[in-house]
Structure 1
Amino acid sequence: MKTFLSASVAVAIVSTSSLSLANPYRLDDQVVTATRTTQSSTPGIAATSVIGRYEIERLQATSVPDLLRRVPGISLTNTGGPGKNTTVSIRGSNSNHVLVLIDGVRTGSATTGDAAWQNLPVELIERIEVVRGPRSSLYGSEAIGGVIQIFTRRGEQDGVNPYASVTVGSRNHHAGSAGVSGGHGNAWYNLGISSLDTRGIDARPGAPSPEPDHDGYRELAANLNGGYRFDNGLELDGYVTEVHSHNDFDSGRKANADNVLKTYGARAAFSPIDPWRMTIQAGRSEDKLDTFNGSVFDTRIDTRRDSFGWQNDVEIAKDQLLTLGYDYLDDSVNGTTDFREDSRDNHGIYAQYLADFGRHSWQLGLRSDDNEAHGRHNTGSVGYGFALSQAIQATLSYGTAYKAPTFNQLYHPFYGNPDITDETSKNIEAGLNGEHGWGDWSVAVFHNEIDDLIAYFNQGDGLRAYNIDKAVIRGVEMGLGSQWLSWDWRTNLTLQDPANRSSRANQGELLPRRAEQLFNLDVDRRFGSVGVGASVHAEGRRWDNTQNTNELSGYNTVDLRAQYWFSHAWRVQVSVTNLFDTDYETARTYQQPGRAGYLTLRYQPI
């Protein structure tokens, strides 16, 4: 691994422990995703990062990808700025090895397997939880690299609490949000809307056939959720998030696309008897994309994912929790592309055991999935934590995972391959973490072997999906947070070697579009009514193809920010991103935004 110029972040790095059957949607000091149960945010076995609403506003992020790039082990690829296709890799795995949940509902395109990160409205998000490492023993397919769960804003306090923001910035960037949240007695609710309109940049100035223009983007999003807790302990809640977007991109004369994302669902949770809590959830996510050449319709692709879950958490003894559950998922595809198969379902059953015995912590998981197209898969995991002292904990974990091929990989008429097989993995991880009066730190070493990794090759019949016999991804993550000289400091560094170990061609080459080094540094300070901060983000080189002949150079960017509170509710924020106007690419020929400035007026009563 080569050295490189370093840099940026502000992410609260926390994990899970302390067993509880508390309400999983009162998330002040809780994390959910690592165990599918509510856990207090104390160091534990899973490598988990949490980005809360306070961090989102302090960092003045303009998009969800802006937030995720600050998380340890995450590398992003973007094709030309705001609204353009963005993929996320965790610890060097494929982008579709990341399971994505929105309020507990499985989302993402059934054709590509990727979530539309570029279209998610950052102003309507309460918090993001990122779990690194395999989680198929809890969630089934897709969770080879990890799980990312997004929780939309929720009302939890009595009374009516309005909020609003207005942002203007470079390249005709105009954004706004408004909403109201709150509660009364046993009820809570939230209604929010947000919008964004930007001229964008010329996405591909270096393309073989450049199209000099501004590739703009606009979106309109809304979120509604609410719930009620009855006196007998029964909790009911429902939620819907919808995003409409329009994107101009370089792929033919005046190419553009209209996209609609929908996620909605309902949940019931209650305790039939005291130590037993049952949760039933049903949801649907939709991803609809229409593309055009000018005003002439070109293609349509609609995917839908219907899910149902039944989970039972039983406190079998003090600090011992047994979870038993069943998941159902139905994926379907519709549109102008003629897929050989257009639907499939999956049934999964799982069990988990969590326990704390003094200085010892355990997390054991087992799951069996029956996929209509790919048969049965069994996955498992074991995690162990040992408190070396009151401040330092050692962890060791092992997990298996699998990923069913997407509809595109199997059935697309041009580059699908019905002969490819499921991807499977084995991951082992060891770590140390500590919490002290001066701050916190963590170190984790991981080794992930992925068999039959799916990649695209041209073997004389055009670009098609094929299995790579084996890929091995080794790496180390380090994080540190502290307060020094009255400044809040947080940094993380990931060094990884995502290598192709196949017996086919390209053995020993690095997997495409994975940076070998990732570094983040974030510093902030408050001076009375004024807050200031800076972030630096750096990535090492990456390759744009499997043959490692198209190199993308490493880069670093610097962001500055400041805010001023007029009162406890009103504040003005200003930021400059990519201060030194760094010229870089994360995908070949696709330019990334240069220097930009933003001014925000925000109203948020405490």
Structure 2
Amino acid sequence: MSRRRQNSRPALHGVMGFFLNFQIHTTRSHLFLFYFLLIFFARAVVVFPQSVVKIYGQVLDDQSGLPLANSNVELLNSAYGAVTDEAGQFMLENLFNGEYELRASYMGFKSLLKKVNVTSDQPAFIIFRLKPQVLLLEQVNITAKRDGGESVDNVLVFTQQDIRRTPTLSLGDFIQRFANVDVNRTGAAGSRQTVSIRGANANQVLVLLDDVRLNDGLSGEVDLSQIPLNMIERIEIRPGNEASLYGSGAFGGVIALYTTKGGENRFRLTSQNGSFGFWSIEPSWSGRKKGWEASIAANKLSARNDYSFQFQQDDKVKTTDQRLNADFSSYNLFLHLGLVKGNHHLSCKAHRYTSVRGQPGSVFALTPYARAQATRSKATASYQFESNMWSVRGQLHVSQDQSDNENLLPLQPVYDFGSVPQFAFHNQLSTTVFQLETEMKPWSGFEQKMGVEGRLVRFNSYNLLQYVAQPIDDASEQTTAFFIRQRINHHLNSIFFSLLPAVRFDHALFSSAERKRWENHWSPSLHVYASWGGESIVYFKVDVAKGFRYPTFADLYYQDFRVQGQADLLPEESQSAEWAIGGQLKMHGRWNAEVKQFENRFRNMIVWRLGSFEFFRPYNTDAELRGTEIVLSYTTPASFLSLEANVSFLRPLNKNPNQTLYNKFLPYRPLNALKGRVTLQHQNWSSILDVRCIGSRFLNEANTKELPPYRVFDATLSKMVFINKRRLSVNASMLNISNEQFEM
């Protein structure tokens, strides 16, 4: 690892015109410049639906002023209507001029009728304020879904709408504002990004795309910069131990991504450009007709990423150098075709990704000619049948990943080649996954989900400079697994109780050349949730779980100059426990608070170290991650003002029997962090201010060197307007307003 200081300059993200979204980066941090540019530059995301917006509005609780999500808005005397989103907003399209009568309804509230006049001019805006009412039906108990009541899982869910209204360039930028989520990056926009949750290593966090793991078999990590946001429909962040559902590598948390499906006929085009030579274009289209649904999303991105940086040597002397060979370019294409007939749903998805990037190396080992190229091809076919009491889903997934890494001296080098020797490797990874799941709801308050999974992974590597020697012989992993999860819910007046036991069994065979090893692992978990109250509630959660992670192909079989894997390396094992207490108060708005304590103990955690005879090898060691999270939020009536803040404290302790390292802090993990957001909304205007205060991080296991803390402020101003009956979202953003410098 190296120390790098990046001058993270404030950046204004904006767009001019209908089709282009320009991101203009400035090296000045004066606030008057920010407000000046905020007025004249904007980020425009233009949506050209095949239909035209005629009526839009919002459904609110008349008493609290809070939005009512999932409310029904019906156009009387027709089969036309809409369902409100999380902000209580709705839209109706394809209407002729004239007067219409709308009815808004929500369980536990009195329905409301309103008339609205539609003209060929601007769309009509209407607000429904529904009054609560008590529903009394003989011998029937009706309980409306309440915030925090039925949503008992330890998961954060974000929709495509949440993604679009947040100033972000990548998936890593979007998730880094949440408690104990740390995104490690190697440079500016387009550079490699990996994620850590609650201090776990990047290969201990599982990243799923449509329920299929993206973690590669060589390093076990996922580069978040390779995932375009315009093809993502929903993001789920599960910070706890999820091995009982997903198996190996999920005990450090799970990030589940779900791609877009065909829906409302819509075309969207976004383009961005900015400093460091950053430029991107993202067209997407979705549509639905007579049971068929389809969507297409593409993404083209490039960045130069060369910049000056400073680093401080042991003698405290600061040196300035130029970071070269950090360019990046990528292309994504995503296709989806589906058919819905009654209770049956067929779906086919394909994804193609290619990228080329420079590898600038570390401060003391620059590699101005090292290059990396990656190609990924994925295809998924699924079938789902769903009825009132049970459902079944089957999915077949195949993928092919190829990567080339080289560091070759050109015939006429312009820059110093450096101390890193020449190399040229070609890697191939093929994956086939079959999944079958069934879910049953035989009676109210009980659910059961069962599933089986089969996975075959094959890995090949080639040393293009030495055709006889290979870093890793042909290797493979064959995994068979089954899981079962139950949910038992019980209501007693104002008390709600939920119990979620789950268990998964994995059987795996690893082989390379004549070496074979078998692994068997059970991963049980238990989640308990209890709450008391009505609109205002108090709740308590407890989670206990066990998990594991198999060594990667590199951990087991890698053999190269002074780099050696160990075939007898033990799998990582984890025992975790956490509890949380929180509540929600509806008084002059909505107040939420939660305090969470967690502990994750690792046995046989895999760490690469420089060992005897200067060989770089993986070793098994023990570690412990303990921490606290405090989350607070407040939303005013009608969602005019929203405040969010989270504070996290982390104690990543090394439990290596070596007395010199025992109870030392594990490196590269922030010991504390404060993150917050302020959101203002008024009619079609909204503004967001984000702040991230990241604490110090140690650079080595001996805790003798550390990176200083830093603070970053980001601001966004947005407005939704209608031009020629088309909806236009205009956003202007500036990143790092205070021109903070931080070390990477």
Contact 2:155–2:239, Cα closer than 8 Å, also in 1: yes
Task: Please name the residue that 1:396 is paired with.
Answer: 542
Provide closer, same or farther for how the CA distance between residues 440 and 263 of structure 1 changes in structure 2, counting only shifts above 3 A.
farther
Aligned equivalent of 2:441, options 308, 315, 335: 315
TM superposition score normalised by structure 2: 0.70
Contact 1:80–1:204, Cα closer than 8 Å, also in 2: no
Task: Please name the residue that 2:341 is paired with.
Answer: 230
Q: Which amino acid aligns with 2:371?
A: N
State yes or no: 1:261 paired with 2:376.
Answer: yes
Task: Please name the residue that 1:447 is paired with.
Answer: 599
Deviations 1:13-63 (A, max 9, x none): xxxxxxxxxxxxx9978xxxxxxxxx9985544321123222222112011
Task: Please name the residue that 1:535 is paired with.
Answer: 690
Aligned equivalent of 2:580, options 404, 410, 431: 431
Task: Please name the residue that 2:40 is paired with.
Answer: none
Task: Please name the residue that 1:386 is paired with.
Answer: 530
Contact 1:471–1:501, Cα closer than 8 Å, also in 2: yes
Q: Please give the alpha-carbon distance, in whole angstroms, between the structure 2 residues aligned to 1:566 and 1:315.
A: 44
Contact 2:439–2:449, Cα closer than 8 Å, also in 1: yes
1:105-124 equivalence runs, <5 A: 105-124=212-231
Q: Please give the alpha-carbon distance, in whole angstroms, between the structure 1 residues aligned to 2:191 and 2:653.
A: 27
Task: Please name the residue that 2:406 is paired with.
Answer: 292
Task: Please name the residue that 1:600 is paired with.
Answer: none
Contact 1:267–1:281, Cα closer than 8 Å, also in 2: yes
1:67-466 equivalence runs, <5 A: 67-157=174-264, 160-202=265-307, 206=311, 212-213=323-324, 215-231=326-342, 233-251=343-361, 252-271=367-386, 275-293=389-407, 298-336=424-462, 337-340=470-473, 342-358=475-491, 359-373=496-510, 374-390=518-534, 391-413=537-559, 414-437=563-586, 438-461=590-613, 462-466=615-619
Q: Which amino acid aligns with 1:46?
A: D
Coordinate RMSD, CA, aligned: 2.5
Q: Please give the alpha-carbon distance, in whole angstroms, between the structure 2 residues aligned to 1:198 and 1:340.
A: 35
Q: Which amino acid aligns with 1:107?
A: L
Worse overlay, 286-295 or 56-65: 286-295
Q: Please give the alpha-carbon distance, in whole angstroms, between the structure 2 residues aligned to 1:396 and 1:76.
A: 27
Provide closer, same or farther for how the CA distance between residues 491 and 500 of structure 1 changes in structure 2, counting only shifts above 3 A.
same
Secondary structure of the structure 2 residue equivalent to 1:59: coil
Contact 2:661–2:701, Cα closer than 8 Å, also in 1: yes
Task: Please name the residue that 1:480 is paired with.
Answer: 632
Deviations 1:375-413 (A, max 9, x none): 210110011111132322111111100101111111111
Q: Please give the alpha-carbon distance, in whole angstroms, between the structure 2 residues aligned to 1:267 and 1:216.
A: 37
Q: What is the CA-CA distance between 1:323 and the residue it aligns to?
A: 1.4
Provide closer, same or farther for how the CA distance between residues 433 and 341 of structure 1 changes in structure 2, counting only shifts above 3 A.
farther
State yes or no: 1:493 paired with 2:493.
Answer: no
Q: What is the CA-CA distance between 1:489 and the residue it aligns to?
A: 1.5
Q: Please give the alpha-carbon distance, in whole angstroms, between the structure 1 residues aligned to 2:440 and 2:703.
A: 51
Task: Please name the residue that 1:570 is paired with.
Answer: 728
Contact 1:203–1:249, Cα closer than 8 Å, also in 2: no
Q: Please give the alpha-carbon distance, in whole angstroms, between the structure 2 residues aligned to 1:412 and 1:203.
A: 35
Provide closer, same or farther for how the CA distance between residues 529 and 295 of structure 1 changes in structure 2, counting only shifts above 3 A.
farther
Worse overlay, 203-212 or 497-506: 203-212
Number of residues paired by the alignment? 547
Secondary structure of the structure 2 residue equivalent to 1:549: coil
Identity fraction in percent: 22
Q: Please give the alpha-carbon distance, in whole angstroms, between the structure 1 residues aligned to 2:333 and 2:308.
A: 28
Secondary structure of the structure 1 residue equivalent to 2:161: helix
Q: Which has the higher contact order (CA 8 A, sep 6+)?
A: 1
Deviations 1:54-96 (A, max 9, x none): 2222112011110121122211211222333322111111111
Q: Which amino acid aligns with 2:707?
A: L
Q: Please give the alpha-carbon distance, in whole angstroms, between the structure 2 residues aligned to 1:225 and 1:430.
A: 40
Q: Please give the alpha-carbon distance, in whole angstroms, between the structure 2 residues aligned to 1:555 and 1:415.
A: 37
Secondary structure of the structure 2 residue equivalent to 1:345: strand
Secondary structure of the structure 1 residue equivalent to 2:394: strand
Q: What is the CA-CA distance between 1:102 and the residue it aligns to?
A: 0.4
Q: Which amino acid aligns with 1:181?
A: S
Task: Please name the residue that 1:19 is paired with.
Answer: none
Provide closer, same or farther for how the CA distance between residues 291 and 313 of structure 1 changes in structure 2, counting only shifts above 3 A.
same
Q: Please give the alpha-carbon distance, in whole angstroms, between the structure 2 residues aligned to 1:323 and 1:475.
A: 31
Q: Please give the alpha-carbon distance, in whole angstroms, between the structure 1 residues aligned to 2:641 and 2:729.
A: 21
Q: Which amino acid aligns with 1:381?
A: S
Provide closer, same or farther for how the CA distance between residues 27 and 283 of structure 1 changes in structure 2, counting only shifts above 3 A.
farther
Provide closer, same or farther for how the CA distance between residues 424 and 28 of structure 1 changes in structure 2, counting only shifts above 3 A.
farther
Contact 1:106–1:307, Cα closer than 8 Å, also in 2: no
Provide closer, same or farther for how the CA distance between residues 511 and 191 of structure 1 changes in structure 2, counting only shifts above 3 A.
same
Secondary structure of the structure 2 residue equivalent to 1:93: coil
Worse overlay, 215-224 or 431-440: 431-440
Contact 1:558–1:577, Cα closer than 8 Å, also in 2: yes
Q: Please give the alpha-carbon distance, in whole angstroms, between the structure 2 residues aligned to 1:314 and 1:427.
A: 29
Deviations 1:442-464 (A, max 9, x none): 22111111111111122214221
Q: Which has the larger radius of gyration?
A: 2
Provide closer, same or farther for how the CA distance between residues 295 and 525 of structure 1 changes in structure 2, counting only shifts above 3 A.
farther
Q: Which amino acid aligns with 1:189?
A: A
Q: Please give the alpha-carbon distance, in whole angstroms, between the structure 2 residues aligned to 1:301 and 1:518.
A: 38
Provide closer, same or farther for how the CA distance between residues 434 and 420 of structure 1 changes in structure 2, counting only shifts above 3 A.
same
Q: What is the CA-CA distance between 1:146 and the residue it aligns to?
A: 1.0
Q: Which amino acid aligns with 1:420?
A: L
Contact 1:105–1:284, Cα closer than 8 Å, also in 2: no
Contact 1:203–1:250, Cα closer than 8 Å, also in 2: no
Q: Please give the alpha-carbon distance, in whole angstroms, between the structure 1 residues aligned to 2:273 and 2:611.
A: 49
Deviations 1:509-540 (A, max 9, x none): 11121111122111121344432221111211
Q: What is the CA-CA distance between 1:371 and the residue it aligns to?
A: 1.0
Task: Please name the residue that 1:551 is paired with.
Answer: 706
Deviations 1:325-369 (A, max 9, x none): 111111221222431451111111111111101121011001111
Secondary structure of the structure 2 residue equivalent to 1:569: strand
Deviations 1:259-303 (A, max 9, x none): 2233331111115x8633111111134432212347978222222
Q: Please give the alpha-carbon distance, in whole angstroms, between the structure 2 residues aligned to 1:185 and 1:482.
A: 43
Deviations 1:476-499 (A, max 9, x none): 112222225942212222111111
Contact 2:715–2:734, Cα closer than 8 Å, also in 1: yes
Residue segments in structure 1 that go unaligned for 5+ positions in a row: 1-25, 30-38, 587-606
Provide closer, same or farther for how the CA distance between residues 186 and 285 of structure 1 changes in structure 2, counting only shifts above 3 A.
same
Q: Which amino acid aligns with 1:163?
A: R
Provide closer, same or farther for how the CA distance between residues 46 and 546 of structure 1 changes in structure 2, counting only shifts above 3 A.
farther
Q: What is the CA-CA distance between 1:111 and the residue it aligns to?
A: 0.4
Provide closer, same or farther for how the CA distance between residues 187 and 322 of structure 1 changes in structure 2, counting only shifts above 3 A.
same
Task: Please name the residue that 1:602 is paired with.
Answer: none
Q: Please give the alpha-carbon distance, in whole angstroms, between the structure 2 residues aligned to 1:84 and 1:286.
A: 23
